[in-house]
Structure 1
């Protein structure tokens, strides 16, 4: 990590930041995303030193990652990621605001009472305004409905997104964890309103390819883009568990404990063999697989260090897969690994 005094010098972005990996068009819109985008879900709350966060964001932008993805409840604690990002905007990124794509979302529990969760007009608009205040921004580039609300008319939810666009608080809008059917319905409502609903953010990885059974086809038909979250299955698709013992498994992230089965770990080891033959780490292959033709427009990565960020960026050196490799990966990953914690909202 750079010395603290280096972090506190005025930041000047790398002159060659747009010469690395190119950008991908989102559907048929004018929005373009880097192949890897940086998600601020877990490592950018009050659980991590602020200077570490600042170093990672600077490093990401210097390497062409100009999309930072947040949500009202990111932390921990909830809301702290947006507050910390607001500090970094003021200290480092204010001169580059027009180059950045900043997104936020609302849909999960944020404050008590009936208007602190899901998809009502009151909650979405209030949450967007609160997020803008925390980040010190006049607008976000993308604002998402974080999950489908089965008790609120979809017309109300998409209408709230339309209002945010018309108020100048969001440039584009999107949805996250919607089923293929709900996505088509949301897009039709948005089209009728003239709202730029251009992107879907689903959970998607080698062990959880549910979007390939309808959603990706719907997005192509509706001319929308996809940006995948949980690309590494919460760490399962990394080298962390390749030689895990039963005792060591107990120290895994709680949400993963029930997924650290021998069946899943065997899949991970076999996938790693394919990755090694490609000259990639397992994580790099998992990211590259999502960025192959016909899959995700962009992939949301997390990072706890610049070293980890560079490891992920290394995936972009080889995005080509042979038919044999794709067949091997599909054969290994078949079956339900039980790692889709967002399935309930996606099929609602």
Structure 2
């Protein structure tokens, strides 16, 4: 496989959380005004950005992948999360595990907030020196932005990732305060996604596939499955790789250049070679229709199996046949919609 394809696959799997929206300036330059900068302290009796970071495995059931799959991240960006920090606008969801909001502080400075639960952590967890509500806390400042992370799993490395962009303010202080309140909320009564009959939202993608079939497709004993966020999984055997992903989308499963395939059980999927001349193929299908969007397009839970081979072309490698073979095992294991 070419380095370009491998790079594209890795980037897709571990894309960082994007900040949404933009701040338009008008009138006085508020960032230069003499508003008093206030750092909101951690909650009394709590642990927000204080040390030391706990050692050992993380066994808190409230932040396990099983629990976090059901959490609505926009519910964590409620007004009480930002008490003393600012006033949030209506949160904007992005998929099942991401949400963003704009917050206005007392001096009318704008704060951009972006949250991902179950986000992949890049870098060493050993860098965590402090704790938030019993979880190791990572903090990285970059100019007027700060990323504060509560580590929820050390293997695989994942956590609750909060990115704060706060021109003229204290992004890390605001992030620590908000993150502590979010973790406390996870231990009380967090808002959850509807657990509708047949939904894949609670499914562990790494257990949704027949590992014997994957081993056959990959041509050897694969490594242990590796979760990719809360709703994805990667299984690799040296270079060949299979990825399984579930997500909500308004886009149809059928795309230009795709071919219909029978996945069994009355399910029709669509297979498409993603990169010309490379041994790669993706099979997608609608698992469950969940309504329509403002433009009248169907909202659906989409399932996807992506196969990346090692050598040859998609035709010579039989990439789509292999992707379809794996996809059929996933269809058979998923809850019935």
TM-score (norm. length: structure 1): 0.28
Greater strand proportion:
2
Greater helix proportion:
1
Larger Rg, first or second structure (1 or 2): 2
